[in-house]
Amino acid sequence: MTYYRSIGAALLASAAMVTAAAACETTFRSSDTHPEGYPTVTAVEYMGELLEERSDGRLCIEVFHSAQLGEEKDTIEQTQLGVIDMNRVSLGPFNNIIEETKVFSLPYIFRSTDHMHNVVDGEIGDAILAEFENHGLVGLAYYDGGSRSFYNSQKPITSKDDIEGLKFRVMQSDVFVDMVDALGGNATPMPYGEVYSSIQTGVIDGAENNWPSFESSGHYEVAGYYTLDQHLIVPEVLVMSKAAYDKLSAEDQALVRQAAKDSVPVMREQWEAREAASEEKVRAAGVEIVEDIDKTPFIEAMVPVYEKHVTSEKLKSLVEQIQAVD
Ligand code: BDP
């Protein structure tokens, strides 16, 4: 009896799912490098629920997590070409494509997550999102990416001098290559998915990231030293292919934009919780954490990085505007 009842329930449930899926006139394929349950993934899934509800089931999103559609540099190109409809990525890999995004990727540009929120939630954030439209993309929203710090397999970094000679993977952006070089290390730009095995085999000594990525990627298993120098607070960004966006009516475009915006507070809440949970897991695994490092030499070392990358009047003014925000 119970058996038949549960089969009946399962059939009904799958019939309901088929009906819901069939009602979607358009399903946007959205890429993410992170695994199921990671806050960037669940945020876009939540956006999809809002969109489906508000479009009476016409517009849906399917999130392809765990880099199923590829690594970020490639998926960005595919999103520009319209092969992928949506993409949640770090802003870093856009630096070499959209100059203006560099200002949010400069080391120590944001004083805190609150400062970053105040900037991206305001006019400067909107202005940078608008730049994506000149590159085949529509910038929809910013998500949190915590603060990034160095980890490695060799030794605890207790001062800037300990970085000398260490080989770090960075995201594919010249800003980050120059950042590591300016600290005396050697930078290797590399796709995220190659970092674990590259540390394991000694191709690189380490990388840099936030607590949730350090944990979910398993990098903490092969890099047992983490130093909280917090050199970067790079926002994550959710973009849509302009090709997909332009096919929508003005009303549907507004629905997409609004659903993306409405997913932001949910993402931020989940991010905070995940940061704490990841930190706990990494600490419990016995990773040696250097917390009270003097950041002044790190900040001072960044002067040539700013000089090299903040050259146009436009970028200089953006940097000044960011610094003036509370
Ligand atoms: C993570 C970002 C992800 C990047 C990754 C990286 O969320 O988008 O791909 O860092 O370092 O924090 O490549």
pLDDT above 70 for 2: no
Q: Rounded to the nearest whole angstrom, what is the distance from the C-alpha of residue 288 to the centroid of ligand 1? A: 22
* C-beta 89 within 6 A of ligand 1: yes
* C-beta 192 within 6 A of ligand 1: yes
Res 41: pLDDT: 98
* C-beta 145 within 6 A of ligand 1: yes
d(CA 246, CA 13): 35
Sign of CA dihedral 162, 164, 165, 167: positive
Q: Are 149 and 208 in contact (CB under 8 A)?
A: yes
Res 15: pLDDT: 46
Q: Rounded to the nearest whole angstrom, what is the distance from the C-alpha of residue 318 to the centroid of ligand 1? A: 24
pLDDT above 50 for 19: no
For a pLDDT cut of 70, what percent of the chain falls above it?
93
pLDDT above 70 for 253: yes
How many other CB atoms sit within 10 Å of the CB of residue 311? Answer: 11
Res 97: pLDDT: 97
- Per the prediction, the chain carries an average pLDDT of 94
Residues 56-81 have pLDDT tens digits of 999 999 999 999 999 999 999 999 99
Bridge partners of 288?
225
Give nearest CA residue, ligand 1 atom 4. 90
Residues 272-288 have pLDDT tens digits of 999 999 999 999 999 99
Give nearest CA residue, ligand 1 atom 1. 213
pLDDT above 60 for 155: yes
Average pLDDT over residues 230-248: 98
Q: List, in order of start, the domains of the chain with CATH numbers.
A: 15-145+236-277 (3.40.190.170), 148-233+286-324 (3.40.190.170)
Give nearest CA residue, ligand 1 atom 5. 192
Q: Rounded to the nearest whole angstrom, what is the distance from the C-alpha of residue 145 to the centroid of ligand 1? A: 8
Among the listed residues 39, 42, 87, the one whose alpha carbon sits nearest the alpha carbon of residue 213: 39
* C-beta 80 within 6 A of ligand 1: no
Q: Rounded to the nearest whole angstrom, what is the distance from the C-alpha of residue 213 to the centroid of ligand 1? A: 7
Per-residue pLDDT band for 23 (boundaries 50, 70, 90) equals confident
pLDDT above 80 for 14: no
Average pLDDT over residues 118-139: 98
pLDDT above 90 for 299: yes
Q: In what order do the strands lie in the sheet with 59-64?
A: 59-64, 26-31, 86-90, 236-241, 137-143
Q: Rounded to the nearest whole angstrom, what is the distance from the C-alpha of residue 192 to the centroid of ligand 1? A: 7
Average pLDDT over residues 185-189: 98
Give nearest CA residue, ligand 1 atom 6. 192
Residues 76-126 have pLDDT tens digits of 999 999 999 999 999 999 999 999 999 999 999 999 999 999 999 999 999
Angle, vertex CA 146, rays to CA 142 and CA 151, nearest 5: 135
Res 22: pLDDT: 54
Of residues 70 and 9, more confidently modeled: 70
267: left (phi over 0), alpha (psi -120 to 50) or beta: alpha
* C-beta 236 within 6 A of ligand 1: yes
Residues 310-321 have pLDDT tens digits of 999 999 999 999
* C-beta 33 within 6 A of ligand 1: yes
pLDDT above 50 for 258: yes
Average pLDDT over residues 214-229: 98
Q: Best mutation site among 65, 79, 90 for ligand 1, i.e. most ligand atoms within 8 A of its Cβ? A: 90
pLDDT above 70 for 31: yes
* C-beta 143 within 6 A of ligand 1: no
Q: Which atom of ligand 1 is nearest to the CA of 32?
A: 8
* C-beta 239 within 6 A of ligand 1: no
Q: What crossing angle do the helices spanning 123-131 and 113-120 adopt, rounded to 10°?
A: 70
Give nearest CA residue, ligand 1 atom 7. 90
* C-beta 278 within 6 A of ligand 1: no
